[in-house]
Amino acid sequence: MSEPTTNSPEAAPDAVAPVAAAPEQRTEQRGDRGGRGGRGPGRGGGPRRRNDSDQNNENSEFSEKVLFINRSAKVVKGGRRFSFSALVVTGDRKGKIGIGLGKAAEVSEAIKKGGEASKQNMLAVSISGSTIPHDAYCAFDGAKVLLRPASPGTGLIAGKTVRAVLETVGIKDVLSKSLGSKNAANVAKATISALLSLRLREDVAKRRGVELRAPKAAAAA
């Protein structure tokens, strides 16, 4: 008599078992590539990475913030060629601030160029403790910004663009109002112009050659 072949019902489960594990292996390999289409992590639900500028700021004396990133396209014979521009504001949180615009074919390179340009254009601002010495108003093109001093603990009452500029310069308490255009570049430049117009009481007296008088309360004591 002939022996039973592998096509019998008892031998079928053993023959099918190795094939059942194949879909799980394919799934693990697809997950290792990360993202849709296997283009690496960060796409298709992968973890997002922080910008290099944010990582450098943790160990740097300067505070760097990206205000706006714009993408432009140039139509060429082979299709469209994209480029990016980044508006970056940099300050030392002690009264100095600068703004710069960087352009490159990649976002990270544009941010890097904008940061370097802002550090080269840094200017000193007169601040009084955690606020500003007096009211300031300035207009740049269509943007208008009004700044007013506030008591300690008030915080920054400002929009995102004005807030970013004030944080980098080191101001913690101020009241502000942005009027007119909402263009980030114009609002930032109007805010910086308003900050540069600030003058301390001591500096004004020194320029005029006038000696400051002591407050009445201190004189009575």
Do both 88 and 137 map to the same domain? no
Whole-model pTM: value is 0.67
74 and 137 inside one domain = no
69 and 98 fall within a common domain: yes
For residues 85 and 117, state if they share a domain. yes
**Domain for residue 207, yes or no?**
no
Tell me what pLDDT residue 202 has. Answer: 83
Q: Which helix (H) or strand (E) holds 206?
A: helix 201-208
What's the confidence (pLDDT) of residue 210? 83
pLDDT at residue 45, as a whole number: 41
User: What sign results for the dihedral spanned by CA atoms 140, 145, 149, 155?
Assistant: negative
User: Which of 2-6, 26-30, 92-96 has the weakest average pLDDT?
Assistant: 26-30
Per-residue pLDDT reduced to its tens digit, 140-150:
999 999 999 99
Q: What distance in Å separates the CA atoms of residue 5 and residue 124, rounded to the nearest whole number?
A: 91
Answer whether residue 169 is part of any domain.
Answer: yes
Domain that holds residue 87: 53-123
The H helix count followed by the E strand count for the chain is 8, 8
What values do phi and psi take at 111, rounded to 5? -65, -40
Residue type, 51: N
Whether 117 is in a domain gets the answer: yes
Amino acid at position 168, single letter: T
Contacts for 128-137 with beta carbons within 8 Å, 24 or more apart? 128/200, 130/171, 130/172, 130/173, 131/171, 131/172, 131/173, 131/174, 132/171, 132/174, 132/195, 132/198, 133/198, 133/199, 133/200, 133/201, 134/198, 134/199, 136/194, 136/195, 136/197, 136/198, 137/194
Domain CATH code at residue 148: 3.30.230.10
Mean pLDDT of the chain: 78
Beta-carbon contacts of residue 56 (< 8 Å; ≥ 6 apart):
64
26 in a domain, yes or no? Answer: no
CA 189, CA 173: separation in Å to the nearest integer?
Answer: 20
> Do 76 and 139 lie in a common domain?
no
Query: Which CATH number fits the domain that encloses residue 71?
Result: 3.30.160.20
- With H, G, I as helix, E, B as strand and everything else as coil, classify residue 109: helix
Q: How far apart are CA 114 and CA 110, in angstroms?
A: 6
Average of per-residue pLDDT across 17-34: 44
For the chain, the domain total comes to 2
Q: Are residues 131 and 192 in the same domain?
A: yes
How far apart CA 61 and CA 166 sit, in angstroms, is 16
Q: How confident is the model at residue 216 (pLDDT cuts 50, 70, 90)?
A: low
**Residues 84 and 139 placed together within one structural domain of the fold:** no
Q: Does residue 41 register a pLDDT over 60?
A: no
Query: Could you report the per-residue pLDDT of 69-128, keeping only the tens digit for each?
Result: 999 999 998 899 999 999 999 999 999 999 999 999 999 999 999 999 999 999 999 998
Among the candidates 95, 123, 151, a domain finishes at: 123
- Residue 100 and residue 77 in one domain: yes
Together in a domain, 105 and 131: no
**The one-letter amino acid at 89:** V
pLDDT in tens, 124-181: 999 988 999 999 999 999 999 999 999 999 999 999 999 999 999 999 999 999 999 9
Q: Are residues 118 and 143 in the same domain?
A: no
> Does residue 38 belong to any structural domain of this protein?
no
